[in-house]
Structure 1
Amino acid sequence: MNSSKVAIKNSREKYPLRLNMYDRPPAQDVTLEEFETWAIDRLKVLSEIESSFVRNRTHDELKTVTTDQCRKYLPVDSNNAELQTREPQRKKDHVSHFILRLAFCRSEELRRRFVKAETTLFRVRYENSAPADREKFIEAHNVGGDTVDVQKDPALLKQLQKVAASAAHATLEKSYYKVPWTQVPDLVATRRVYLKGGFAYVPLSLQPNIIYQKFQQNLERALEQTAKALPRLDEDDRLVPILEHLSKGFVAGVSGEYRAGEGIDGEVTADMVDEIARKHFPMCMRSLHETLRADRHLKHAGRLQFTLFLKAMGVSVEEAIVFWRKGYGQSMTDDKFNKEYKYNIRHSYGLEGKRADYPAMNCQRIITQNGPGPGETHGCPFCHHSIDNLTSSLTSVYRITAQADLMEIQRAVKDGFYHVACTRVFEITHAERGVKKGEGLGAGESVAHPNKYVARSRELEKAAGMPSGAGDAMMVDEA
């Protein structure tokens, strides 16, 4: 055992390494709140990684987005950081990985997506790590391959020179590592290594590929073992609902709640809603608003979705009552409105019934729970509308006419990445305010909550110093 391994073994730290192979399950106790919160934070990072794949971001762009997301939700500092800072970070990272293993081991498709995202996260962290942190990790886990002294084997040296010469701009490197060829199938497929006797000779510059492949193979095996053990959890009615909730995270981006009025300056009155809808609403809420204006009515599920959205946007219960009363028009009497609708509005605000403070629906809930039936307009247009109707709305309401943009949105919808499609709409409709492709709501973050869409849109308008009504060019005026 070398000195580095001895130092790690004798260390009193639970997490002496910044990088983790996740080969040992956590033994610490965690609360149920930590169990769910930590897993959601990690899922936010993995979801943005998968969104990067869907959006064909370059590796540098993916790396930037992932690094930003990790800084917000899952930081893992180097050993230069204080112990009291890095130990809780590494515990959260360790535990959250194993929680998501439980959530994503349930099917072959979920396992494949989880492995791809986790391997990418590991790669980004490895590339961002200091050389000293990398060396300690390689030595501790023995994942770098066996060093080969090529100068002592002229025949081998000659073959390596041929491989180097066949690769564009490649030269013979000073160090090579010998590993079973099955550990680097990607390098074998691209003929970037020399094969002999079932072993691949990997140059120093490609050593990280050995490590990434080892991480991926270990995780694939671990997920299969976890899937076999999962039935033992079926009796725990505390964990199973959480795991089922987490496994839906890739469907609609990551679930996330929203603080009422976040990003909004001052109260939003009933008279302000129409203009905000025209300029800032995402497609789901725009559809509900237009239906209410056209039909003077929304069915129960639509009213609930829209009321909670308005509540989180900063509309007080008094203003919400004014808005809905005006929305139903003169065809409804005040008596009928007060008896059949006013109570439900107050109930949504936690002022009636059990007085619960109901949060606005995030994208995951809108997509996965109680889809719209005949005559209903709630839900997510990207998920629940036909491609033809969706495209019609994109062109007529949001004025997205470029064929390349429409095809990109349609492709994301057909592949089931509805949050990616919505995010692309946000980018296109806010391009004049400086939002570039790939930026999303900021730092590459995808849309995961309708209220966050509105808040970010209004923030951009405020930053641009646009006067009231100046943003009407983004949308077509209400009929």
Structure 2
Amino acid sequence: MFQYDKSRIDTKRRAGLDYKRKQFATPTYKQQEYVHRLNFYEIPPTAEITLEQFEQWAIDRLRILSELEACSYRNKTPAETAAHITPLLQKFLPLHSNTASSSGVDQRLKDERQKDHYSHFILRLAFSSTEDLRRRFVRLEAMLFKFRFQQDDSKERRAFVESLNFDWDILADEEKQELGESLLNATPGLKRTDDEGWFKVDWERVPELVERKGILVKKGKAYVPLREQLSMILAEFNARLEKALEFTSRALPRLDEDDRLIPILDHLSKNFGTSDTSYTDGEGAVPGAAINAASVDALSRHFPLCMRNLHMQLRKNAHLKHFGRLQYTLFLKGIGLSLEDCLIFWRQSFRNINDDEFNSKYRYNVRHAYGDVGGDANRRGRGYPPYSCQKILTDNAPGAGQTHGCPYRHFSVDNLISLLQATGVNDRETLQGVREDVAKTRYHIACNRVFEYVHKDDLKKAKDEGIMNQADLDTIVHPNTYFKRSYQLKNLGKLSKADVEMTT
């Protein structure tokens, strides 16, 4: 029998096999210098950060990406997008240039760039699991990169591009003269080839320019004028990120053992559509507003469609089933309705039953939602937070006879339009936009579209008078935010700018 002689193994050759496991090796710490404001995100972070930073940085970046997606869905112009995104970037993900500091890259710039760097890689983990998430992530990251590139200082931008060491061939003068007429015919707005510098690259590297039919393509090569440099950089950014995400998706199973990160990443990926964030007690209430059992009917005109529908059904049938009651109770709690007033409200609303039946079947559930009774989540007396849009969209879809959920998702289009018209939304353009949003599963965009139509005059007044700035008017992703913003806009004459800033 053949005997395997271990002594004959070449130790150098055996050591050479380690490259196969290099991708799974323990990362070694490497200090990031962040010389440039812009980043292609090619070097993974290795320094330690806290779990709180891990989650908050990711949430802040997700908020920016979601707002970019919302601007795209609502066909905002580049100028409108810039006006909307700029204050949000300053608030959640600032990234100043080197010229913003008299001493070069100071600690503030390093902290900003570290957050930008790490938050990108955290979301890369969260959104690499499916092809759809990867595609959306690449598209939105490219939008963010493009926005920052265009806003960057020209000198720093040039230095950043030079640092990337792209292998782009510069078109020689002899070839430029040879292709002169073809270059002129294929490049709109060009009068003389001598007026422009040119790159020569494989056509697959500039698909956007090829699709636009704005460049010459010949024998597999694309001839790109210097002014289209951004398109080439974006194509390279997309290609590298797509490749990196595919690699990350293969490494994801190795994270299953980390019970700290998986829940956070799962939460982030599920909330990609609406940038769902944690809800702070009382943040949906409006100080000074008259909110009690008797005022709910009047306040309902400020409710989002999901809660407006529940209120209308409650008034019509004098009853709501369990999930409808829970969704509505938590919303009322979030706008500032006290437990005592909430019990009065429900008792008066259930007009077809007596006190004994109400006390035995429904009173405890209301108290439990407020944290007045029960254990576990209610031990501290806070109860449960109001449902976010994401939770309403994804949890406990309504069945026959149930009225909870999101009308934009759970209603037929015809029933949805009828409900909107019943609440006073009759604008044909708005209703057509809602139809298109729902068809493309952009439910939160449809809701925001309706909000902007209903409050169009108030929004203009708030901006013109400086009572609300753009950062206060980001995309609504929570029913209680919808109520608070609606109430504020409809009561601008009673609220000062300080009042609005205090409550937003």
TM-score by length of 2: 0.82
Query: Deviations 1:384-424 (Å, cap 9, x if unpaired)?
Result: 11111101101122x22233321210110111100000001
Q: Distance in 2 between matches of 1:170 and 1:256?
A: 52
Q: Distance in 2 between matches of 1:282 and 1:198?
A: 54
Say yes or no: does 1:336 pair with 2:321: no
Q: CA, structure 1 residues 414+435, in 2 after alignment: closer, same or farther (shift >3 Å)?
A: farther
Q: Mean alpha-carbon deviation: is it higher for 61-70 or for 316-325?
A: 61-70
* Counterpart pick for 1:58 among 72, 77, 85: 77
**Letter of the 1:220 counterpart:** E
Query: Deviations 1:179-224 (Å, cap 9, x if unpaired)?
Result: 3332212223334334456443322211111111110000000011
Aligned ranges 1:175-324 → 2 under 5 Å: 175-195=197-217, 198-262=220-284, 264-266=286-288, 268-277=291-300, 279-324=301-346
Q: CA, structure 1 residues 255+366, in 2 after alignment: closer, same or farther (shift >3 Å)?
A: farther
Query: Deviations 1:297-333 (Å, cap 9, x if unpaired)?
Result: 222211221111111111122222222222222x333
The residue aligned with 1:5 is none
User: Tell me, what secondary structure is at the counterpart of 2:199?
Assistant: strand
**Letter of the 1:349 counterpart:** Y
* Counterpart pick for 1:366 among 389, 392, 412: 392
Aligned residues: 449
Q: Mean alpha-carbon deviation: is it higher for 103-112 or for 18-27?
A: 103-112
Is there any run of 5+ residues in structure 1 with no aligned partner, and where? 1-10, 467-479
Q: Distance in 2 between matches of 1:327 and 1:345?
A: 13
Q: CA, structure 1 residues 442+360, in 2 after alignment: closer, same or farther (shift >3 Å)?
A: farther
**Letter of the 1:169 counterpart:** G
**Letter of the 2:480 counterpart:** N
Say yes or no: does 1:18 pair with 2:37: yes
Aligned ranges 1:86-101 → 2 under 5 Å: 86-101=109-124
TM-score by length of 1: 0.87
Say yes or no: does 1:394 pair with 2:420: yes
User: Tell me, what secondary structure is at the counterpart of 2:140?
Assistant: helix
User: Tell me, what secondary structure is at the counterpart of 2:223?
Assistant: strand
Q: Distance in 1 between matches of 2:31 and 2:374?
A: 54
Q: Is the 8 A contact 2:186 2:216 kept in 1?
A: no
Query: Deviations 1:331-373 (Å, cap 9, x if unpaired)?
Result: 3333333333232222222222122532211101111111112
The residue aligned with 1:325 is 347
Q: CA, structure 1 residues 441+81, in 2 after alignment: closer, same or farther (shift >3 Å)?
A: closer
Q: Distance in 2 between matches of 1:464 and 1:434?
A: 13
Q: CA, structure 1 residues 400+284, in 2 after alignment: closer, same or farther (shift >3 Å)?
A: same
**Letter of the 2:161 counterpart:** I
* Counterpart pick for 1:348 among 366, 369, 375: 369
* Counterpart pick for 1:128 among 151, 154, 157: 151
Q: Is the 8 A contact 2:285 2:336 kept in 1?
A: no
Q: CA, structure 1 residues 12+27, in 2 after alignment: closer, same or farther (shift >3 Å)?
A: closer
Q: Is the 8 A contact 1:258 1:449 kept in 2?
A: no
Q: Distance in 2 between matches of 1:92 and 1:413?
A: 35
**Letter of the 2:60 counterpart:** D
Q: Distance in 1 between matches of 2:256 and 2:109?
A: 34
Measured after TM superposition, the shift of residue 228 of structure 1 is: 0.8
Q: Mean alpha-carbon deviation: is it higher for 111-120 or for 184-193?
A: 184-193
Q: Distance in 1 between matches of 2:88 and 2:183?
A: 39
Q: Is the 8 A contact 2:284 2:483 kept in 1?
A: no
Q: Distance in 2 between matches of 1:378 and 1:404?
A: 27
Q: Distance in 2 between matches of 1:297 and 1:224?
A: 51
Q: Distance in 1 between matches of 2:73 and 2:354?
A: 50
User: Tell me, what secondary structure is at the counterpart of 1:80?
Assistant: helix
The residue aligned with 2:20 is none
Is there any run of 5+ residues in structure 2 with no aligned partner, and where? 1-29, 496-504
The residue aligned with 1:474 is none
**Letter of the 1:221 counterpart:** K
Aligned ranges 1:57-76 → 2 under 5 Å: 57-76=76-95
User: Tell me, what secondary structure is at the counterpart of 1:235?
Assistant: coil
Say yes or no: does 1:377 pair with 2:403: yes
Q: Distance in 2 between matches of 1:65 and 1:307?
A: 33
The residue aligned with 2:439 is 414
Q: Is the 8 A contact 1:382 1:390 kept in 2?
A: yes
**Letter of the 2:323 counterpart:** A
User: Tell me, what secondary structure is at the counterpart of 2:483?
Assistant: helix
Q: CA, structure 1 residues 369+160, in 2 after alignment: closer, same or farther (shift >3 Å)?
A: farther
Query: Deviations 1:263-292 (Å, cap 9, x if unpaired)?
Result: 612262111111010x21110001111122
Say yes or no: does 1:118 pair with 2:122: no
User: Tell me, what secondary structure is at the counterpart of 1:201?
Assistant: strand
Q: Distance in 2 between matches of 1:133 and 1:368?
A: 44
Say yes or no: does 1:170 pair with 2:190: yes
**Letter of the 2:222 counterpart:** A
Q: CA, structure 1 residues 256+386, in 2 after alignment: closer, same or farther (shift >3 Å)?
A: farther
Q: Distance in 2 between matches of 1:462 and 1:164?
A: 59
Q: Mean alpha-carbon deviation: is it higher for 163-172 or for 320-329?
A: 163-172
Query: Deviations 1:220-263 (Å, cap 9, x if unpaired)?
Result: 00011011111111222222222222112233453452541546
Q: Is the 8 A contact 2:285 2:334 kept in 1?
A: no
Measured after TM superposition, the shift of residue 47 of structure 1 is: 1.2
Identity over aligned residues, as a percent?
43
State the superposition RMSD in angstroms: 2.7
User: Tell me, what secondary structure is at the counterpart of 2:36?
Assistant: coil
Q: Distance in 1 between matches of 2:421 and 2:93?
A: 39
Q: Is the 8 A contact 1:419 1:448 kept in 2?
A: yes
Measured after TM superposition, the shift of residue 155 of structure 1 is: 4.2
Q: Is the 8 A contact 2:186 2:213 kept in 1?
A: no
Q: CA, structure 1 residues 261+154, in 2 after alignment: closer, same or farther (shift >3 Å)?
A: closer
Q: Distance in 2 between matches of 1:55 and 1:220?
A: 26
Q: Is the 8 A contact 1:163 1:194 kept in 2?
A: yes
The residue aligned with 1:454 is 483
Q: Distance in 1 between matches of 2:357 and 2:166?
A: 72
